[in-house]
Structure 1
Amino acid sequence: MFKTQAESQEFLTGFLPTLEETPQDREVVLCVPFTDLNVLSKSLHGSRVQLGAQNVHWEDCGAYTGEISGPMLQEIGVRYVVVGHSERRQYFGETDQTVNWRLKAAQKNGLIPILCVGETKQQRDAGETEALISNQLEKDLVDIDQSNLVIAYEPIWAIGTGDTCEATEANRVIGLIRSQLKNPNMTIQYGGSVKPNNIDEIMAQPEIDGVLVGGASLEPSSFARIVNYK
């Protein structure tokens, strides 16, 4: 929940020029608040940056005050949507059932969902990481097209805390996630205190295809360093 429309435009002014030397095989997606989507859809037209939303409702329309539907997002050029982010699960009652419904709605409406899975510090300390994530995947991916999906492993204890999961450990968990998928070639990202000073090590891991960036994406030069990792 950052950046007004004016602030988003200012961000683009500083960020877009940094992509001139970015390798063409790297995909860049900005997942912004709903109020910024329309203006950024216009500003990003013709650029290499894709637009993403932070959530989507499971119904196309209805008496769901405060929600946003797939057709509303698709109409204004949104390509990606984050589903099941840990903050939605933690603060807003998201369950694996509603995550599954949102994934289906996203795919039905031509959006590529970015599914977030991950454990809390308490669950990790109890040795429950593998079982928890396996359970999340089993429930979330019921009847989901795995050829039209991105998964982000985000250990909740490493989000906004400054504590980063060791790159080798993130690689291990993502390898376990990949082993449970019908589509082993799926893009799997790591998210959790990704910063300019750790991006090179993270992206050197063989199982990690990309990153889901939080706070470090708010400043153009910081995000540019992550996008242009070595």
Structure 2
Amino acid sequence: MTKILHIDDDIELGEMLCEYLRGEGFEAEHCANPLEGLSRLADGNFQLVVLDVMMPQQNGLETLKQIRLQYNTPVLMLTARGDNIDRIVGLELGADDYVPKPCLPREIVARVRAILRRANDSGKNPKDALNLGPLEVQPAKRKVLLHGQEVELTSAEFNLLEVLASHAGQVVSKAMLSEQGLGRPLARFDRSIDVHLSSLRNKLGLHSEKLPLTLHTIRGQGYQLSLD
């Protein structure tokens, strides 16, 4: 059974969400203290973390930093509605997706399923490795190698790179990236993909003249990953 850890100082919301998740077939645990949550993440075998941003002991962004130092576990952030800065910073720090609060448990579950579905699909339907010069994407193992060295990516970053590598040399629209990479329709004014791809550029050195691989932004159309 898929295990989900919810870290949020709102105990009432935490209990309600965990109860809803259990009713949807997940094993869910709530921690009201982020430090306690980090400890539980180390002890338990969790497949996903739902993390609130606004917490008094230690905010969610700092907690996310600490998670990313040790784990590639997918993280779904809960942010204040209209707070675009927290959303963008959260994505830059390695969050896989976000849901603005207040929100319905049903929406959180839908986002959770989308994140997990993309991760599980690779294991159920093994695909051949995708090779683009010095870059190798291994969908079955969810690994990325650059010049033979593994590059640590978040779940969302890997998913988006897999879509781009599968369509190397072609322009891929943001709508297609959202559907196939994030598992949800593209929302108006959603900058998630832009932030994830900016992180990918940095991690893979796609801005370096030494790498014969470029991630082009095609204005008004989408993105294109191609060998130079």
Structure scoring higher RCO (CA < 8 A, sep ≥ 6) equals 1
The TM-score with structure 2 as length reference comes to: 0.30
The structure with more strand, counted as a fraction of residues: 2
TM-score by length of 1: 0.30
